[in-house]
Amino acid sequence: MTAFSTDAATGFPGVFHKPVHSPDDGGAAAAGDLGALPEWDLTDLYDGPQSDAVKGDLKRAKDEAETFEKTRKGRLAGYLAPGGDIGQLVAAIREYEELQELLGRLMSYASLLYSGQTTDPARAKFYGDVQEKVTAASVHLLFFELELNRVDDAAVEAGFADAGLAHYRPWIEDIRKEKPYQLEDDIERLFHEKSVTGAGAWNRLFDETMAGLSFQTEAGELGLEATLNLLQDPDEAKRKDAAEALAQTFSENLRTFTLITNTLSKDKEISDRWRGFGDVADSRHLANRVEPEVVAALVDAVTGAYPKLSHRYYAMKARWLGMDRLAHWDRNAPLPNTDRRKVSWDEASKTVLDAYGGFSPKMAEIADTFFKRNWIDAPVRPGKAPGAFSHPTVPSAHPYVLLNYQGRTRDVMTLAHELGHGVHQVLAAPQGALMAPTPLTLAETASVFGEMLTFQAMLKKAETPQLRKIMLAQKVEDMINTVVRQIAFYVFERRLHEARREGELTSDEIGRIWLEVQGESLGPAVALKEGYETYWTYIPHFIHVPFYVYAYAFGDCLVNSLYAVYEEAETGFQEKYFDMLKAGGTKHHSELLAPFGLDASDPAFWQKGLGVISRMIDELEGME
Examine the fold and report which residue of 202, 228, 251 is the final residue of a domain before the chain moves on. Answer: 202
Q: d(Cα 206, Cα 538) in Å, to the nearest integer?
A: 9
Q: d(Cα 473, Cα 469) in Å, to the nearest integer?
A: 6
Please say whether the beta carbons of 538 and 544 come within 8 A: no
The backbone torsions φ and ψ at residue 326, rounded to the nearest 5 degrees and listed phi first, read -85, 135
Model pLDDT, residue 4: 32
Q: Mean of the pLDDT values across residues 321-348?
A: 92
Q: Which residues contact 510 (CB under 8 A, 6 or more apart)?
A: 258, 261, 496, 536
Q: Mark whether 197 and 226 lie in a shared domain.
A: no
Q: Mark whether 332 and 196 lie in a shared domain.
A: no
Examine the fold and report which residue of 146, 180, 202 is the final residue of a domain before the chain moves on. Answer: 202
Q: Mark whether 225 and 198 lie in a shared domain.
A: no
Q: How many residues does the chain have?
A: 624
Please say whether the beta carbons of 395 and 431 come within 8 A: yes
CA 608 to chain CA centroid, Å, is 24
Q: Mark whether 272 and 334 lie in a shared domain.
A: yes
Structural domain includes residue 403: no
Q: Mark whether 197 and 256 lie in a shared domain.
A: no
**Residue type at 563?**
Y
Please say whether the beta carbons of 329 and 231 come within 8 A: yes
Structural domain containing residue 165:
41-202
Q: Render pLDDT for 57-80 as a digit per residue (tens, 0 to 9).
A: 999 999 999 999 999 999 999 999
Q: What does pLDDT average to over the chain?
A: 91
The total number of structural domains that make up the chain: 2
Q: Mark whether 160 and 268 lie in a shared domain.
A: no
Q: Residue 332 pLDDT more than 90?
A: yes
Examine the fold and report which residue of 161, 180, 202 is the final residue of a domain before the chain moves on. Answer: 202
CATH number at residue 86: 1.20.140.70
Structural domain includes residue 520: yes
Structural domain includes residue 30: no
Burial of 401 (0-12, 13-18, 19+ CB in 10 A): buried
Q: d(Cα 324, Cα 318) in Å, to the nearest integer?
A: 6
Q: Mark whether 220 and 195 lie in a shared domain.
A: no
Structural domain includes residue 138: yes
Q: Render pLDDT for 151-197 as a digit per residue (tens, 0 to 9).
A: 999 999 999 999 999 999 999 999 999 999 999 989 998 998 898 89
Structural domain includes residue 71: yes
CATH number at residue 311: 1.10.1370.20
Write 48-53 long-range contacts (CB < 8 A, 24+). Answer: 49/110, 49/113, 49/122, 49/123, 49/126
Grade residue 252 by pLDDT with cuts at 50, 70 and 90: very high
Q: Helix H segments across 139-183?
A: 142-150, 153-159, 163-167, 169-175
Write 125-133 long-range contacts (CB < 8 A, 24+). Answer: 126/49, 127/11, 127/204, 128/204, 130/54, 130/58, 130/106, 131/6, 131/11, 131/107, 131/196, 131/200, 132/196, 133/58, 133/61, 133/62, 133/106
Residue from 523, 81, 616 nearest 326 by CA = 523
Q: Residue 603 pLDDT more than 90?
A: no
Q: Mark whether 285 and 164 lie in a shared domain.
A: no
Q: Mean of the pLDDT values across residues 426-439?
A: 95
Q: Mean of the pLDDT values across residues 134-150?
A: 95
Structural domain includes residue 52: yes
Q: Mark whether 194 and 305 lie in a shared domain.
A: no
Q: What is the dihedral of CA 219, 225, 228, 234, to 10 degrees?
A: -60
Q: d(Cα 358, Cα 352) in Å, to the nearest integer?
A: 10
Please say whether the beta carbons of 289 and 551 come within 8 A: no
Structural domain includes residue 308: yes
Extended strands (E) in 491-575: 526-527
The residues facing 346 across adjacent strands are: none
Q: Render pLDDT for 107-124 as a digit per residue (tens, 0 to 9).
A: 999 999 999 999 899 999
Q: Mark whether 57 and 195 lie in a shared domain.
A: yes
Q: d(Cα 264, Cα 8) in Å, to the nearest integer?
A: 10
Q: Mark whether 78 and 123 lie in a shared domain.
A: yes
Please say whether the beta carbons of 532 and 328 come within 8 A: yes
Q: Render pLDDT for 263-279 as a digit per residue (tens, 0 to 9).
A: 999 999 999 999 999 99
Q: Which residues contact 289 (CB under 8 A, 6 or more apart)?
A: 174, 177, 439, 441, 585, 588, 589
The sign one gets for the Cα dihedral 336, 470, 25, 527 is negative
Q: Render pLDDT for 355-377 as a digit per residue (tens, 0 to 9).
A: 999 999 999 999 999 999 999 99
Strand, coil or helix: what is 532? helix
Q: Mark whether 158 and 283 lie in a shared domain.
A: no
Structural domain includes residue 572: no
